[in-house]
Amino acid sequence: MAVLSFVLGTLPQGAGAQGQTALGWTRIERSARASAWAGAGAASLNGGTYAAFSHAAQLPFQKSLGTVDAGLQLWELSNEADNATHISAGGGFRFGSFGVAVGGAVQLGQPIGTFKPIDRLLAVGLAYSFLDRIAVGVNFRYAVQPFTPELRVSGISLDLQVLGRITEELSASLGVGALGPKVKGSAAEFSQPGYAKAALAWRRAFSPEHALEVVLDGDFNFDKTFGGALGAEYAYNQMLYVRAGYRLASEMAVIPSHLGLGLGVRLSGFRADVSYLTASPVLGNTVNIGLGYSF
């Protein structure tokens, strides 16, 4: 049940347990690009996809006027008892200094008898940039998560992020996320998986054909766990991309330690990305596929 505790959220063992976490699945990284970095990339100025779900401050920096994306995540394929399917879709749009993104996701867990758990998520991202160097973003979410036919939780949460270009090659980000009131289920109250995050991104084009981006993220969860991820991307001719990243986290962190690997292709505005997560008993043998278009 390891992957279910992460993908579906932490289900407290005691019916009256307090201080436990629910809606942990809202922290899942939906971008196949960022998941190849093991979840890093909050400070990347080449982001903006799936911005409805997180990192809305990236929207004003995206080069295109708009993006549309769809993703499929297949969790722990080698474990039939624990695997789950996550489907997401969204779009982000830039209007001068303003950015707006909308998205939705569903998650299909393993049946429990005749009960088939389906988690649902609706998200909106808003952003505004100042002097083309600093952007402020906010994400709003509404999530519904059934554990059993009798136990169902739902709640609203938000993220706040400030993202700035320090130099032409270096950018930085600060933010807090998954902030929201406690959610109730039966007789228990559960906290949401709130966190604070700091991130850096460095990108250099060595020639028109070759570029390298390195990203570093660190987060402190409000349950006193923590984690950090380091990732890199090599781009050839702005068309072919190779990515890798590793996250190191404390034992009970919402997002555990794992390795990410990935590839990407860009052609005439179309994007295809794939990532593979491994080196983790919770996230091992997980595949993420993303398709998108920028205009």
What values do phi and psi take at 214, rounded to 5? Answer: -125, 130
When divided into structural domains, the chain yields a total of 1
For residue 176, is it within any domain? yes
What values do phi and psi take at 223, rounded to 5? Answer: -85, 10
The band of 86, judged by pLDDT with boundaries at 50, 70 and 90, is very high
Closest by CA to 6, choosing from 96, 79, 104, is 79
Asked if pLDDT for residue 209 goes beyond 60, the answer is yes
How far the first Cα of the chain sits from its last, in Å, is 42
For residue 23, is it within any domain? no
Whole domain around residue 86: which residue ranges?
A: 34-294
How far apart are the C-alpha atoms of 295 and 293, rounded to whole Å? 7
For residue 124, is it within any domain? yes
Q: What is the pLDDT of residue 16?
A: 32
For residue 25, is it within any domain? no
Q: What is the pLDDT of residues 155-208, one digit of tens each?
A: 999 999 999 999 999 999 999 999 999 987 766 788 899 999 999 999 999 999
For residue 16, is it within any domain? no
Asked if pLDDT for residue 12 goes beyond 60, the answer is no
Q: What is the pLDDT of residues 103-125, one digit of tens each?
A: 999 999 888 788 888 999 999 99
For residue 111, is it within any domain? yes
Q: What is the pLDDT of residues 64-81, one digit of tens each?
A: 999 999 999 998 887 766
For residue 277, is it within any domain? yes
Q: Tokens at residue 175, please?
A: 């933010």
Q: Do 171 and 162 contact (CB within 8 A), yes or no? A: no
For residue 28, is it within any domain? no
CATH number for the domain including 184? 2.40.160.40
The band of 13, judged by pLDDT with boundaries at 50, 70 and 90, is very low
Give how far Cα 6 sits from Cα of 22, 82, 287, Å: 10, 11, 15
Asked if pLDDT for residue 3 goes beyond 80, the answer is no
